[in-house]
């Protein structure tokens, strides 16, 4: 189990990776969950670059069910805040940008375009809502992981949260659709004075088995 401020591993495993050590640190070791942000703005170009990078991560049948609503204005943020729990409300109120990351339960309608290799892909999901929603949630969750790493690649920090009223956010932002919010993520340049001490990470032998 590793603790403390992350440095390049003494075992030299960073040298096994194709990614440069500085990039490894930017995306993983030195990156932290942001609880507060500076006043430095986040540009629309940065948000576009984040999604343009994250979209290349794999999903089941290339379904790409992640849908993102970026909140910048006070009016839009005001619609979200009543649905955030506890301390997440204050963090969200002060963030430069907040992203609602959601799964589109009607993703199958786009399968003829995004997965033409299987002509009947849409029909596989059309009459099975349970399968469709399960697949949407799993692939969107994968994409949320890619999204977080892409935000870091843009030189920004992100604070993902699941502490919110899912039904309330769904009614407020996705009424009349099959889209379900999964995560709310604040984005900006981190104020590190509000960052918690680095928590332990489990080691290889604690999480992996080689058979």
DSSP annotation string for 173-198: HSTTSSEEEEEEEEEESB-GGGPPPP
Close Cβ partners of 60 (under 8 Å, ≥ 6 residues apart): 135, 138, 139
What pLDDT score was predicted for residue 174? 99
* CATH fold group of domain 33-194: NADH Oxidase (3.40.109)
Dihedral Cα 68, 74, 76, 82, nearest 10 deg: 100
Is this prediction's pTM over 0.85? yes
Cβ pair 102, 180 in contact under 8 A = yes
Instruction: Encode pLDDT of 49-82 as tens digits.
Output: 999 999 999 999 999 999 999 999 999 999 999 9
Average pLDDT value over all residues in the chain: 95
Is there a contact between 173 and 181 (Cβ–Cβ < 8 Å)? yes
**What mean pLDDT comes out for the span 148-174?**
99
The yes-or-no verdict on residue 1 having pLDDT over 50 is no
Structure tokens at 52: 């343009």
The burial of 87, by beta-carbon neighbours within 10 Å (0-12 exposed, 13-18 middle, 19 or more buried), is given as: exposed
Say how many C-beta atoms besides its own lie within 10 A of residue 52's C-beta: 10
Give the model's pLDDT for residue 2.
Answer: 46
């Amino acid at each position: 189990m590793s603790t403390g401020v992350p440095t390049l591993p003494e075992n030299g495993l960073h040298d096994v990776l194709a990614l440069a050590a500085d990039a490894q640190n930017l995306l993983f070791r030195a990156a932290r969950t942001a609880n507060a942000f500076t006043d430095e703005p986040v540009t629309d170009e940065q948000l576009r670059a984040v999604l343009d990078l994250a979209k290349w991560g794999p999903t089941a049948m290339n379904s790409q069910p992640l849908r993102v609503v970026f909140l910048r204005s006070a009016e839009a943020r005001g619609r979200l805040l009543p649905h955030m729990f506890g301390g997440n409300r204050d963090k969200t109120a002060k963030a430069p940008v907040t992203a609602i990351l959601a799964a589109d339960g009607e993703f199958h309608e786009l399968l003829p375009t995004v997965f033409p290799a299987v002509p009947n892909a849409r029909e596989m999901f059309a009459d099975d809502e349970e399968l469709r929603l399960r697949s949407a949630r799993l692939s969107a969750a994968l994409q949320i992981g890619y999204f977080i790493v892409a935000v870091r690649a843009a030189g920004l920090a992100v604070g993902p949260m699941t502490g919110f009223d899912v039904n309330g956010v769904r009614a407020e932002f996705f009424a009349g659709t099959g889209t379900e919010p999964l995560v709310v993520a604040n984005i900006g340049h981190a104020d590190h004075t509000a960052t918690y001490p680095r928590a332990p990470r489990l080691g290889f032998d604690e999480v992996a088995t080689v058979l």
